[in-house]
Amino acid sequence: MLTLFGVLIFAVGLLGSIALHELGHLLPAKRFGVKVPQYMVGFGPTLWSRKKGDTEYGIKAIPLGGYIRMIGMFPPNPAGVQDKEHLGRFGLMIESAREEVLAEISPLDEPRTFYRLSVPKKLAVMFGGPFMNLILATILFTISLSVIGRPEVTTTVSEVVVCVPTASNPNGIASTNGECVGGEKTPAALIGLKAQDTLLSVAGIEISTWEDLSPALAAKAGETVQVTYRTAQGEVVTKSVEVASYETAILDATGNPTGEFTNRGFLGISPAFDLVPAPVSQVPDFMATLTVASASALLDFPARVFGLAGDLFTEVPRDPQSPVSVIGIGRISGQIAGSEDIPSIYKAADLINLLASVNLFLFVFNMVPILPLDGGHIAGALYEGIRRQVARVRRKPLPGPVDTAKMLPVAYAMSLALLAMSVIVILADIVKPLTF
């Protein structure tokens, strides 16, 4: 039941993200007078729709995206009406699409076409969608990082190891009568430390973070030290105890074992984790780092999908870093919500982070300067603006709108590539699903 609830929460969040993305296009388009016949969330058959003014608002059956349809996305051919008999395959494709777009423009609606907008207005309309995803990601990450907080190690005890680990008892488990067979009790067990107690100082060194404990104990094996802690009831207790010796492997600079061992002081406790809210000022840096990582992952996306396709029907385990589809992300969100080992507040943080990451990736993805993505239209508008500025400097007549219809072959090829990659990743999420 909880798993289904997690999937439902993610699905609603994703649909909301899509709706807000398209709203980011719709609002400035209407503000600038562009006629928008349709605002749709999803693709495929229409499940529900209602017309208000010039616009039909609706929800479609396949929740893998959305769109708004603005009239006049392509301008008339600057060369005039073309003789189709002398056009090649791509030329026919471009002119057919152009005619379809221009056919719905009535003389009264001609001033309300997208291509007649100024460059700044075109940029506002096309950037509005990705900007909505960026704003939503920022809000969600702020809630996760600065309201709920991130898990951090604390100086509070989560578990006391009863026995000093040995070769015959590596986990330090006591016998049924509480004795340590073949070994000795840990200092923590001897002085009565319990879960939810908080360390204050060890061997005269204040323990303000968990990282303070290791250097405080490192050279104290076999020595008697004072341990001060606060019990769960608030009482401050100080006790003397001999620090146990525990053989540990020596690691090199890269964190790998060198094959040598050393004896270090051992107290016998594990730390508890707690959600610690971060200052809001840290959110931009966190998002900037994640944005760079998302852009890097996007560059590797085709290669990773190709590798995923090669491993799809083999016995090779799926790479945990491989791309996932909406189906895969939905399954992960369900696993998070359905896990009985994760506290509810951690589940909420994980689901919020998941949805925030999806929105940030949508922002980065849509900014790729290739049609049919928003970045392609943004690049076209920027090119138009540059051409006009150059014409002004050279005191030449201002050129007309950029003929983005000429990029349709690239747009169709891009759409087919995205569709093929989506099918591969969705199939992988069904055949070889990743687990959380």
CATH of the domain at 251: 2.30.42.10
| Sign of the C-alpha dihedral computed for residues 70, 76, 81 and 85 taken in this order | negative
pLDDT at 80: 62
CA angle 265, 271, 276 (to 5 degrees): 135
Domain boundary among 276, 302, 322: 276
Q: What are the φ and ψ backbone dihedral angles of 147, each rounded to 5 degrees?
A: -105, -55
Identify the residue with better confidence: 140 or 216.
140
The set of catalytic residues is 22
- Measured CA to CA, the distance from residue 10 to residue 327 in angstroms comes to 10
pLDDT at 83: 58
DSSP 8-state code for residue 163: B
DSSP 8-state code for residue 117: S
Of 308, 304, 302, 305, residue with least CA distance to 432: 308
Residues 372 and 258 in one domain: no
Q: Total structural domains in the chain?
A: 2
Domain boundary among 227, 245, 276: 276
Residues 186 and 131 in one domain: no
Q: Is residue 65 part of a domain?
A: no
**Domain membership of residue 222 as a residue range:** 152-276
What is the rounded average pLDDT of the residues 368-390?
A: 91
Q: Is residue 5 part of a domain?
A: no
Q: Is residue 369 part of a domain?
A: yes
Residues 409 and 431 in one domain: yes
Of 375, 377, 407, residue with least CA distance to 298: 375
Residues 170 and 301 in one domain: no
What is the rounded average pLDDT of the residues 31-41?
A: 94
In DSSP notation, 362-431 reads HHHHHTSSSTTSHHHHHHHHHHHHHHHHHHHHTT-PPP----GGGGHHHHHHHHHHHHHHHHHHHHHHHH
Asked if the model's pLDDT at residue 250 lies above 70, the reply is no
Residues 290 and 363 in one domain: yes
Percent of the chain scored above 90 by pLDDT?
36
Residues 254 and 298 in one domain: no
Rounded CA Rg of the chain: 31
Residues 352 and 411 in one domain: yes
Q: Is residue 85 part of a domain?
A: no
Residues 173 and 227 in one domain: yes
pLDDT at 344: 79
Of 1-5, 163-167, 181-185, the range with the lowest mean pLDDT is: 1-5
Residues 241 and 293 in one domain: no
Asked if the model's pLDDT at residue 130 lies above 90, the reply is yes
Residue 112 — very low, low, confident or very high, per pLDDT cuts 50/70/90?
very high
Q: Is residue 2 part of a domain?
A: no
Residues 370 and 265 in one domain: no
Q: Is residue 58 part of a domain?
A: no
Residues 327 and 254 in one domain: no
Q: Is residue 110 part of a domain?
A: no
Of 389, 377, 405, 320, residue with least CA distance to 99: 405
Burial class (CB in 10 A: 0-12, 13-18, 19+), 280: exposed
To which H or E segment does residue 351 belong? helix 344-366
Tell me the sheet residues that pair with 67: 40
DSSP 8-state code for residue 184: -
What is the rounded average pLDDT of the residues 211-224?
A: 86
For the chain, first and last CA: distance in Å? 17
Q: Is residue 19 part of a domain?
A: no
Q: What is the mean pLDDT of the chain?
A: 85
Residues 286 and 428 in one domain: yes
The number of residues making up the chain comes to 436
- Three-state SS string over 223-265 comes to CEEEEEEECCCCCEEEEEEECEEEEEEEECCCCCEEEEEEEEE
**What is the per-residue pLDDT across 274-310, written as a single tens digit (0 to 9) for each?**
888 989 999 999 999 999 998 988 888 888 888 888 7
Tell me the sheet residues that pair with 163: 185
- Measured CA to CA, the distance from residue 385 to residue 344 in angstroms comes to 51
**What is the per-residue pLDDT across 166-201, written as a single tens digit (0 to 9) for each?**
777 777 777 777 778 767 888 998 999 999 999 999
Domain boundary among 226, 253, 276: 276
- Predicted TM-score (pTM) of the model is 0.80
